[in-house]
A and B are shown apart, each in its own frame.
Chain A
């Protein structure tokens, strides 16, 4: 959990050139969702590990693929869908794992081969 100054400091050395205005825009776009108590003042924002990792991700994608803001919204939207699906798959898998062996075997047999 860090505040905005510490976050900016962490990314200052990297050549993504993240400044306060840009980060604020990301928060406005809901690309980054810091804990905020409903406050708009950036000094009150609290960034968790997931947010920090996401800032790094956005910087990386911008830098590596020259992605502009509009495309970034699309990229993040698709990415969030993929992770959402992965989470759901994990939930389903853990539900399957908790089944007795004979049920797991039956499901394994019933799975069609990939690509069919």
Chain B
């Protein structure tokens, strides 16, 4: 039986008295590739931040790798790429190499240059991150998430600022990692990408609209009311085209 990497039970999060997510439960098993979709303000990023302990839920609980979140201590097993680097200071003095190695366990040998090469930014290793373009900064952050070789990767709109070539390379890379056993949670507006790579889908609109496999999703007639026939059809078509395993 596959071990549970993430378990969320009846999670509710409020901001200024308004429900941002309401009674959300989900389970992510080892080796899963879960795509989280939903419109703007549907609570996708808020859910991720609750899972990672960045935000504190009003109700409910989160378990990571079988441990309750408040006592969770295996953070090296998680790689996270936030939606955007929060208001990065143009004058921030960290070099690309410093940022990519940030948070690595001391004494653990890492091949920074190899990871940077993978992202096509090896030549920027000694540049200051504040002086890079947004797309280059995003590649640095991707390298930072990948270098830890984590068991669980969480991406929140990871390829927004990337060119199509780098985007395809990124998804192909994460797909390979998933096939080698890395659990992936991907938040994106791009339902086509989710359909192509993810095995399971969570559709949020403050609460769970759908959570399950693509087979169930595509077979469910009730979904059209939420997504529109075209959108549901497109996701399923992408999934079939990619030969998705369900």
A, B from the same assembly: no
